[in-house]
A and B are shown apart, each in its own frame.
Chain A
Amino acid sequence: MSTDFSTAGPLLEIRDLRVGFRVDKKKVLTAVDGASLTIYPGQTIAIVGESGSGKSTLAHAVIDLLPGSGHVMGGSILFQGAEITDRSRSQMLALRGSSIGLVPQDPMSNLNPLWKVGHQIKEALVANDVCSGDEADRRVVELLEEAGLPDAERRARQYPHEFSGGMRQRALIAMGLASRPQLLIADEPTSALDVTVQKQILDHLDSLTDSLGVAVMLITHDLGLAAERADHLVVMYRGKIVESGPALDILQNPQHPYTQRLVSKAPSIASQRLSSVQARAEVREQAVQTAAEIAEEVAQSAAALGAGEGDIIVAENLTKIFTLRGAKPWEKIDFAAVDDVSFRLRRGTTTAIVGESGSGKSTVARMVLDLLPPTSGTVRFDGVDVKTLSSRKQQLSLRRQMQPVFQNPYASLDPLYSIYQSIEEPLRTHDIGSKKEREAKVRDLLDKVSLPTTVMSRFPGELSGGQRQRVAIARALALDPEVVICDEAVSALDVLVQAQILELLNDLQAELGLSYLFITHDLAVVRQIADDVLVMQNGKVVEAASVAQVFDSPAEAYTQRLLDAIPGASIHLGA
């Protein structure tokens, strides 16, 4: 180890760095514009920004791993006082790994599936001349243990597909720290993981880098997470550093309008504010009132399904058992994805189902939507058992009254359909209105989700994730449903866009008296949109209560764990 704690000089100094991507012969896209920052040995700093802000590009420029046509156009990067932007490829190769380590973003695609995990870490040791042969094998086990993997000796002999996402990320951390670098670049190391796993891994990374004296450059989109983990924050926006300084100072007193936006909107921080609870109460009051009016109409109408009851969806003892293939052709294994789940959704309110991946929350959503038949149990929509709907006409009216918004805005719109066709499709399927009336309705819907009507002729590929999610919401509202089921509808979006879509969903609920079933893995957003919460774990309901109860006095240890895992939960900012 060559880390010298006594030197007060900076470890990494970036001055006025400019990085560009060559688009064609004449055009160069500037991704990082005049960025300066300093990291001292053993210090953790965080670079915060939305997607496309240039934060990853900045990090990749440091280790000379810019993709494609990316290149440093100006400025300097000093590592331990020496300029590295003009180093040759082989000199950089020597620096990479041995002095600067990287923990990449996606643990799923960053391990080679054909090689054992231990072998891949050994590769890092051998490549950096740390050790080789049997010594390297022993070192691999030590490194994996150090990264917090239990039973490391056996794990080293396993293949990546035998690891969970969290375990893979631990293996990548072991690899990044294999040759004891002085600087570790962690590029969104936990954004693909469940919140509780994220907390575990970051806690471990913290203590590990502390004890080794490694400096960490943490790249993240989550301001709460950054402030919790780093002493020094750098906020990036559209390729420029807009604000930097001590973490707590920035959170308590943000100066740049963009930072102010982030601080006020980021769900992990905003959810702690009492103001968001009050805002939600107002939305609910108005929504319940509108919903009651709609319920009366439904009760009168012969075409609509249901009797206008107060509980619009009642799920009782829902169970879904998937039969999996066993080790032998004749063997079958029963797997209960959803186990005896019951809940009710009151008209005009939001019930959130919260759980980590594999908890069965999306399977519940699919059963409620009648996209997947339950193994046992019933779903009653406004008093009518969904299973008893036999005629196509009745099924169509159920579809009309209940609509989904899915998670992935990149997959939930047909890429070959224009925005107009996508939103018009439900109207056409249900034979509603003439061509002219349908067009007027589409315009009206786009207006409701605050999109200009010029997007009608565009295609999903040309819109951003948030814009596509708006289109998906417009499509869901085309048939004037009473219930909208949002399956992780904001999970794939940047924090500011997430906040914006949550706001839109709240406004629409108040205006149209909608009832939401809101599926999410993120407790942080729940407080801004939900009234009741169902916490699920391994297919079972762990806790069911009102939002206030869950946040203020969670009854179950698991719920408490989820709450603790919200990044930034430990930071108190006042109202």
Chain B
Amino acid sequence: MSDIRPGQERFVAPLEETPLRAIDAVDVDAVPESQWKEAWKRLRASPLFWLASVIILVLAVMVAFPTLFTSADPNAAKLGNQFAPASEGHPFGYNFQGADIWARTVYGARASVAVGLLATLATVAIGVVSGAVAGFFGGLTDTLISRLSDVFFSIPLLLACIVVISVINNIFPSRGFWGSVLVVVLALAVFAWPQITRQMRGAVLEVKNLEFVDAATAIGASKMANLRRHIVPNALSPVIVSATIMLGVFIVSESALSFLGLGLPQNIVSWGNDLSDAQTLVRSGQHLVVMWVPATALAITVLGFVLLGEAVREALDPKARK
């Protein structure tokens, strides 16, 4: 080692400048943070989330306390007020029937939100259970569930709902508010679950091969306990994102069905029904405000849920962010 060249002499850094730390020391002062808490922190930092929250909050208040927004009765119609212009307390005027447009839009939120929420809950319930079972047990169970979901997946959602609802309408022609909502919810849920099932199945397949699942088995946890305690919670995040966006889609679907006269019956105040009533006016091009108000309410609501879904996706999977 005699031929040491310039710049390669022996060098030892002074210890004061490079103090040693204990090997693998634990940072004792750190604040514990679960994955959910971390996701929430990222969510709070997202402007999208706040915009979506404001929209959804306003919508929620509208559903719970419609009288805060309007003092008019959505069902009170005076033909004398037909297409009357805006006046004090009636910001958008009156429709064809002489009912307050704004009041109908405010009260119409109830039906839309009820259908959206319930249909999402039902879809997620069916999807999570069937997807988890299919992914976890595999084999014949998986084949049966997956092929069944393929069959339902191949039928266009709205077309299927139109057929199912018209059949039910023929058998039970008159139902109350909740009866009508329930029929729409069931029709949507029965044809929308395969999307969640597929996502859940994929996530479960991925999680079930991780070592912590083996570790739990070696501890003595039963198959079901393992599925419930470790696999499903770790497979949920893609489903949460989808469900949020799906809620918006269901609200649109309800309006579309009502627009076609198949969703909620005419006597129930809903955005779809109001839009359906307004369609004759579109042709004449007059009094378009009758259409604009519920249509804008619908668009803003759906936007709220889509934005929320996007914000949640970014928070749950920070790597996906650009």
Contact = CB atoms under 8 A, between A and B. Distances in A.
A332 interface: no
A237 B19 CA distance: 10
Contact of A240 (B17, B36, B233): B17
B156 interface: no
Nearest to A469: B24
Interface in B1-28: 1, 4-13, 15, 17-18, 20-21, 23-24, 26, 28
B137 interface: no
Interface string B187-222: 000000000000000000000001110111111110
B225 interface: yes
B32 A429 contact: no
Interface stretch (A114-122, A138-146, A158-166, A405-413): A405-413
Nearest to A466: B24
A255 B215 contact: no
A461 B210 contact: no
Interface in B27-67: 28, 30, 32-36, 38
A418 interface: yes
B234 to A, nearest CB: 6
B18 A371 contact: no
Given A238-B18, A412-B212, A426 B219 contact: yes
B227 to A, nearest CB: 13
A242 B233 CA distance: 45
A399 B32 contact: no
Nearest to A247: B1
Contacts of A412: 211-212, 214-215
Contacts of A497: 23-24
B230 interface: yes
Contact of A256 (B1, B18, B34): B18
Contacts of A10: 5-7
Nearest to A259: B12
Nearest to B213: A414
Contacts of B13: 240-243, 256
Nearest to B36: A416
B35 A416 contact: yes
A249 B23 CA distance: 25
A545 interface: no
User: What bracket does the count of chain B residues touching chain A fall in?
Assistant: 35 or more
Nearest to A402: B218
Contacts of A472: 215
Contact of A246 (B1, B12, B36): B1
B18 A242 contact: yes
B215 A258 contact: no
A316 interface: no
Nearest to A455: B26
Contact of B12 (A238, A256, A461): A256
Given A404-B218, A411-B211, A416-B234, A243 B12 contact: yes
Contacts of A452: 26, 28
A400 interface: yes
Contacts of B23: 261, 466, 496-497, 500
A404 B10 CA distance: 46
Nearest to B234: A416
A457 B15 CA distance: 35
Contacts of B20: 257-258, 261
A408 B210 CA distance: 10
Secondary structure of the B side of the interface? loop
Contacts of A237: 18
Contact of B24 (A36, A256, A500): A500
A395 interface: yes
Interface string A371-415: 100000000000000000000000110011011101110011111
A248 interface: yes
B107 to A, nearest CB: 41
A320 interface: no
A426 B220 contact: yes
Given A240-B17, A406-B214, A451 B12 contact: no
B237 to A, nearest CB: 10
Nearest to A399: B220
A454 B29 CA distance: 8
B24 A403 contact: no
Contacts of A457: 32
Contacts of A482: none
Interface in A85-137: none
A13 interface: yes
A246 B10 CA distance: 7
A298 interface: no
A250 B32 CA distance: 41
A216 to B, nearest CB: 15
Contact of A430 (B1, B6, B211, B220): B220
B113 to A, nearest CB: 30
A454 B4 contact: no
Contacts of B15: 256-257
Interface string B111-122: 000000000000
A249 B10 contact: yes
A278 interface: no
A109 to B, nearest CB: 15
A57 B12 CA distance: 21
A369 B217 CA distance: 10
Contact of B217 (A232, A371, A467): A371
Contacts of B1: 246, 248-249
Contacts of A232: 8
A250 B237 CA distance: 51
A414 B227 CA distance: 12
Nearest to A458: B32
Interface in B253-267: none
Interface in A416-441: 416, 418, 425-426, 429-430
Contacts of A521: none
Contacts of A411: 210-212
A11 to B, nearest CB: 11
B215 to A, nearest CB: 5
A558 interface: no
B231 to A, nearest CB: 9
Contacts of B210: 411
Nearest to A246: B1
B218 A245 contact: no
**Which 7 A-B pairs rank lowest in CB-CB distance, beginning with the nearest?**
A38-B7, A245-B10, A399-B220, A412-B211, A255-B12, A457-B32, A466-B24
14 contacts: A242-B13, A243-B13, A245-B9, A245-B11, A246-B4, A255-B12, A258-B20, A415-B35, A429-B219, A457-B32, A461-B35, A467-B24, A475-B219, A500-B24
Given A371-B218, A455-B26, 11 more contacts: A10-B7, A244-B10, A246-B8, A246-B10, A255-B12, A412-B214, A415-B35, A418-B32, A425-B219, A454-B28, A475-B219
